[in-house]
Structure 1
Amino acid sequence: MIDRSLIAPAEFEFVVLGDTHYMLDPAGRALEFESRRKQTARADTALTLAASLRPDFLVHMGDLVQEYPETRRHREALEEARAQLARLGVNVYLVAGNHDVGDKPDPTMPTRPVTVESIERYQSGFGPSWFSFDHRKCHFIVINSQILNTDLPESGSQRDWLERDLERHGRKRVFLFLHLPLFLEHQDEPHVGNYDNIGQPDRGWILDLIRRHGVEAVCAAHVHFAFLNRVGSTRIYNVPSTSFVRPGFGHLFTGPPPPEQGRDDAPKLGFYLFRVFSDRTDVHFIRTGGAVAPEEKAHGGSQRLLTRTSAGLSASPLGLTLLHPLANRTGIPIAFPSVVRQCVRNDYPLLAGLELGATAVRFPVADLDDAFQLERLRIIRDEGLRLTAMAPASSPADLSTYVRRHSDVVDTWEIQIPGALLPSRALGRELAGSGRGARPRFALAPILPGEIRPGKQHPRTRIGYIPGELRELNRCLAQRDVFVQRVLCRVDESEPWNTVRQLLDTGTLSHVGAVDLTVAFTSRDDVRNASTAAETLFGAVLLPGARVYFEPFVDLDRTLDVAFGLLDTSCNPRRAFHVLRTLNSLLFREPISRPVPESLELHGAIIRTLTGAAGFQALFTSCAGELPDLGGLTFSGISPGASSRLYRLAEGTVQEGPFERLLGYVTGLSPPVLLTSGPQG
C-alpha cells in the first residue's frame, strides 16, 4: 500500500494514533451525529494502513471506544475494540483514555471520574496503565493521565515510579505518552472546567520532569485536533483522531464549519508515523481522510507515496510567503464539554508547512515584534526552515535595530524598495558591507505600484523584479560596488516555464548571489493552480540556489483580490498542496545536477521534460480537468519497454511499468502528472 522510494532509511519507526472510538453497531437507531456510523470502519481503515507500514510498534493513545465506563455496554465495546487491534499483527502499546477508565478529577466533567474499580477493570483486560519499555537506544514511557491530581493510591504509586524510571533511563532518548494534553496554548492556562488539559499541581510536576531529563518528545491525544508545542527542546504533539474531529476548535478558522458543526472534518483525520534517526526524529502525518475502506488500486497496482518532511529536504527550494500570520489564536465560546472559555491556537498552517517539506518562509518584519508570532517562527526555524523577514526600506535605522535584535532568528533580510526599481545611493551605502557570505544576508525586491490587471478598476502593486529588469539591477549594484545575496523575481502565473527560461537567458549576475522566485496564485481554479505550482517547481531544478515562494498559503476569500491558496479556509490541503508535497520529494530528495530542458504542446496538454543524471522526467499539465488523448506521442531516446514510473501528483500515488504502457495511462488523468524513466546515461 505504501511506496518508500522517496524517503531515507530510518533506524526504526513507530506509529502513534488515537481516539479511534470503536462504535458498537447502532443498527437503525437514530444517532446524535450520523458520522458515528463510520467510526469503526474509519478506525479499521487507519489501523490497516498503519499496519501496512510495518512499524516496529504502534502506540494507541487512548479512547478505544465511544462508550464510557458507566455505560451498560462499555465492557462489550472494549472487547470488540481489543479484537480489532489483535487482527493487526503489530505490537501495540495502549495508553488509558477517559473513555477507557474515566474522567479527570474535576467536578465539572461530563462523566464520572476515574476510580480504583475502573482502573482494575481496565488493567485486568489490557495490562498496566503505566509502564515503560526500551527499543533500540530509546526509552518509551506510558502514563495514566486520568489519575493525575487524584487522591487515589495509584496516583502516588505512578508518581514515585515515573521519577525513578526517568532517573534510571534519563541518559537515553526518551519519548513520553499520555492521553490528556498537559496544555494546549500555554503552560499556565486554567484547568478547572477545561475538558482538555491536565490540572495543577501535576501538570507543573511533569513539565519539570520533562525539562530536567531532556525528554525528546511528548505525545498526547484526547482533543481530536493537532497542536505542536515546545518546552525547551522537547516537542509536544497532539495527535489527531482517526474517526472524528471535536467541534468547537473550528472557531479557529475563517471558513464555514465542515459537516456536523465541524465534527466530520474528514481531511483532518489520520495518524503520525515517527521515523527515528541517529540525530533526529521525523514525524509524518499520514492522512486517512475519513476513508471507510482501504484505498483501491488503480491501473494494475498504484501505491501511495510516503513523502519527506522539511527536515529531510535540505536541498529543496520550496518556500511559503505568509500573507496570513503563521498562527492565530482565539477564544472558543463556552460550550460542552468545557464550562470555561478556552484560548487555543491554530497550528495547522505550521504543521502543513512541515508536511509539505517547505524549507523557507517569508514573513513581514513586524512579526518579530509580536512575541506570539516570534515563538512560532522560532519553532519552524528549529524544524529546518530558513526565515526571510520582509522589510520596507523606508527606515534604515529601524532595520538595523531588527538585525541587531533578531540575527539569531532571521537568515535573510529582504529589503523592499518603495516606488523604485533600483536601490538609492543611501541604501547602497547601507548594503555596501554585505559581501559574499557576509552576515547579515540581504535580498532586494522593489515595491512598484501601477500594475494594470484585467478586470480591476485600480492598478495593483508588484513586489519583486521581472527577469528583464535584473541586468539593469546588476549594473547598478556593480557601479556602487554592492553585492546582495538574493533578489526576488515574480513568476508569470500564466507562463511559469517562460519565466524560468528568461532567467536562464539572463546569464550570470556578478553582484547577485541567487535569484528567488515568487508565485502568486490569482485563480480560484484548483486544477490551474496545481499545474502552475507543478510547472514552477519543476523549472526550479534548472535554477541552482534559487528558492521558490508560493502565495497565498491559505485562501484569500474576503479581500479585494481573492484566490485559492495551498490550504483552504479550514486549513485543509487543496490540490496544489499535494502536488507540491509529492513533487518536492521527487525532485529534491537529493542534490541534483542541472538537466537539459525541452518543451512541447499537444492537443491542449503542456509537456515539459528534463533529461540528466536523474533520468528522464516528463511533466504533463493542462488547464482542463483531465489530460487529452496523447496517442502517437514518443520521446527521443526512451525505449517503449523501458522500466518507468507514473506519478499522479495530486493523489500522491505511483505505479510502475513499461514506458509505453504508462504513457497510455496518462490520457484522462487529472493533471499534473509526472512520468519518469531512467536514469539516463
Structure 2
Amino acid sequence: VFSAHVHNVFVGFHENTIFYSVPSMAFVRPEYAELATVGPGDEYGRNDTAKLGFYLVRVYADRHEVLPVRTYGAGKLAAGFPQVEPYQLVDRPTKMLGVTLRRGWGRRVELAADGLDEFTRKEAYRDWLLWALWELGVTGLRVPFADLTYADVRQRLADFVRLGFMFTVYSLGVPDAATMATMGANGRLLQNWELIFPEHALAQVKEAVKRARAVFSGQLFVAPVVPIKEDEEEHGRSFQHFAAHGFSGRRAGINESWQAVIDSLPTDIGLTFRVSPWDEPAATLHEIDQQSNRAKLINLQLPRLDEGVRFNDDHKLQSFIVDAYHAGRTMANTIIFIDTFVDSDRGYYPRNGLLDRRFNPRPAFYALKRAALGK
C-alpha cells in the first residue's frame, strides 16, 4: 500500500502487507526534523530539499521494487556534487558495497506532543536511512550482535530482511550461553557472523568456531582485535586507546600465531580484513586479495585525520570510495562493508561519511552510485 500526505518517508508492516509513506515533492513536515540528532535545516526542517522526491515502482509477477528519486525541489544537485540529474541515477546497481551501521537504526523515536499532534507523542523510525540504502542499491548491512538481543530492534531487523536486506553481525570472544540461545533462535535472519578475538584469546578460537557452528548455518568469519592506527615499524609499538579489528592489508598482515590458528580451522571459515583510514584503498584491497583463498569480509574504513581533527575533504572521500569500489569488483568470494556511512560529527576521529547527520547524501554518495552504474 502506497500513501501520501504525510510529507515524509516511512515503511511499516502489518502481517503480509507493506505500507509505504511516499516522499513529498513540495515540503517536509517540520516536526520530523526531530528524527535527526542535529538541528533542523532550512525553515526549521520544512525546506529540507534533499527529502523531496518520488518513488518509481517496478512491479513484477512475484515482487515489486521501489526506486527513490530525489528531486531537491528543482531537480538539480547542488554545487560540489557530481553533476548529473537525479533522475538519471534511478537504476539500481547490480553490485554494491555493504554498509556498517554504527549508530542505532532499529528503534522508534518519540516526537513531541505538539503541532499537528497536540495530545500524544507519536513514534517514528528514521527511515531516511532506508531511503538512502534503497537509492544507493545497498543490500548488505553489518551490525553488532547486540542488535539481536533487543526485541524491538530484532523485529525491525526482520522487517528489513523482508525488504531484501542481508545482515552480518559481529561479536567479541567465545559465544556464551546467552549468545548461543539468541543465535539459535534468530540465526535464520542472518547471512554472516564475525567472531573477533584479542591476541591473548587465540587459544579459544577453535572452541568459539565449534560453538558458533552448532547454532548457525551461515558463513563464519574470524578476526583479530588491532589498534585503529598501525605503528610505523621503526618507531616500535605504542599504547593506543582506540581499537579496530580485521587483518591488515599489509603482506605481513597475518602473524605467525594467527596463521597457526587459521591453518587449524576448516577451510570454509572466512577471514575479516580491514582497509584502514590511512591506506590507499585499491592497493590495499589488491594485497588482501593475494593473502588468502578463504572467504573474505573487508571492513573499508573511510578516511580520518586524528582523534580531535575532523576529516571533511569531500573530494578525497569521493576518490577513496570510487577507487575502492572498482578494486572490489575484481575480487572473488569477498564482501566489502563501508565504514563510515553516516557522518561521525562528535566524539573521537570526527569524519564525513556518505550521508550527513540528517541522512542526506554527500557528494561521495553520488560518486559511488555513478561508478556503480558506469556513468
The TM-score, its normalising length taken from structure 1, stands at 0.48
The structure-2 alpha-carbon separation of the partners of 1:225 and 1:317, relative to structure 1 and needing over 3 Å to count, comes to: closer
Name the aligned partner's letter for residue 576 of structure 1. A
Gaps of 5+ in 2: 79-83, 233-237, 305-310
The residue correspondences of 1:102-117 to structure 2 (distance < 5 A) are: none
1:603-622 equivalences in 2 (<5 Å): none
Q: What amino acid is the match of 2:370?
A: T
Comparing 403-412 and 484-493, the one that deviates more:
484-493
* Corresponding residue SS for 1:363: strand
Match of 2:12 in 1: 229
Contact 1:434–1:441 under 8 Å retained in 2: no
Q: Residues 275 and 283 of structure 1 are in contact (CA less than 8 Å); yes or no, is this contact kept in structure 2? A: yes
**Equivalent residue for 1:543, pick from 312, 328, 331:** 331
The aligned residue for residue 356 of structure 1 is: 136
Partner of residue 286, structure 1: 69
Structure 2 match to 1:252: 35
Indicate the residue corresponding to 1:428 in structure 2.
206
Instruction: Return the offset for 1:487.
Output: 1.8
CA deviation map 1:204-255 (0-9, x unaligned): xxxxxxxxxxxxxx11111200001111232110011101111111011012
Match of 2:298 in 1: 516
1:126-183 superposed Cα distances (whole Å, 9 cap, x missing partner): xxxxxxxxxxxxxxxxxxxxxxxxxxxxxxxxxxxxxxxxxxxxxxxxxxxxxxxxxx
Pairing partner for 2:88 from 289, 296, 305: 305
The corresponding residue for 1:182 is: none
Deviations 1:496-551 (A, max 9, x none): 01102212433x43xx2234342234222211111111110110112112111112
Aligned counterpart, 1:319: 98
Counterpart code for 1:431: V
- The answer (yes or no) to whether the contact 1:434–1:440 under 8 Å persists in 2 is no
> Which amino acid counterpart does residue 298 of structure 2 have in structure 1?
D
**d(CA) in 2 for partners of 1:302, 1:236:** 28
**Structure 2 residue 350 is the aligned partner of structure 1 residue 567:** no
Q: How many corresponding residue pairs?
A: 353
1:375–1:303 CA distance, 2 compared to 1 (3 A): closer
**Conserved 8 A contact 2:76-2:85:** no
Secondary structure of 2:222 counterpart: strand
| TM-score, scaled relative to structure 2 | 0.84
1:15-61 deviations in whole A, cap 9, x for unaligned? xxxxxxxxxxxxxxxxxxxxxxxxxxxxxxxxxxxxxxxxxxxxxxx
Whether the 8 Å CA contact 1:368–1:374 is kept in 2: the answer is: yes
- Corresponding residue of 1:482: 266
Partner residue, 1:578 = 366
Q: Tell me if 1:505 matches 2:287.
A: no
1:397 to 177, 190, 195: 177
1:268 aligns with 2:51: yes
CA deviation after TM superposition for structure 1 residue 343, in Å: 1.9
Deviation at 1:403, TM superposition (A): 2.0
Matches of residues 63-462 of structure 1 in structure 2 within 5 Å?
218-291=1-74, 304-309=87-92, 313=94, 316-340=95-119, 341-419=121-199, 424-432=202-210, 439-449=217-227, 451=229, 459-462=241-244
Offset of residue 472 of structure 1: 4.7
What one-letter code is carried by the residue in structure 1 that aligns with 2:207?
R
Q: For residues 232 and 582 of structure 1, do their structure 2 counterparts lie closer, same or farther at Cα, with a shift above 3 Å needed?
A: farther
Q: CA deviation at 1:292?
A: 7.0
For structure 1, list consecutive stretches of 5 or more residues without a partner in the other structure: 1-217, 296-300, 587-646, 648-681
- Secondary structure of 2:370 counterpart: helix
Kindly tell me: are residues 451 and 516 of structure 1, through their superposed partners in 2, closer, same or farther at Cα, counting changes over 3 Å? closer
1:200 corresponds in structure 2 to none
Q: Does 1:532 align with 2:320?
A: yes
Let me know the Cα RMSD of the aligned residues. 2.9
1:446 to 1:308, Cα distance in 2 relative to 1, 3 A: farther
Compared CA separation, residues 574 and 371, structure 1 to 2 (3 A): same
**CA distance 1:292–1:544, change in 2 (3 Å):** closer
Shift of residue 452, structure 1, vs aligned partner: 5.8
Alpha carbons of structure 1 residues 492 and 427: separation in structure 2 relative to 1, 3 Å: closer
Task: Decide whether aligned partners of structure 1 residues 384 and 342 sit closer, same or farther in structure 2, where only a CA change above 3 A counts.
Answer: closer
Cα distance in 1 for partners of 2:358, 2:336 equals: 24
Q: 1:333 to 1:501 in 2, by over 3 A?
A: same
Equivalent position SS for 1:411: strand
2:327 is aligned with what amino acid? G
Q: Deviations over 1:447-493 (max 9, x none)?
A: 22474689x99542121111232475774245424334322211143
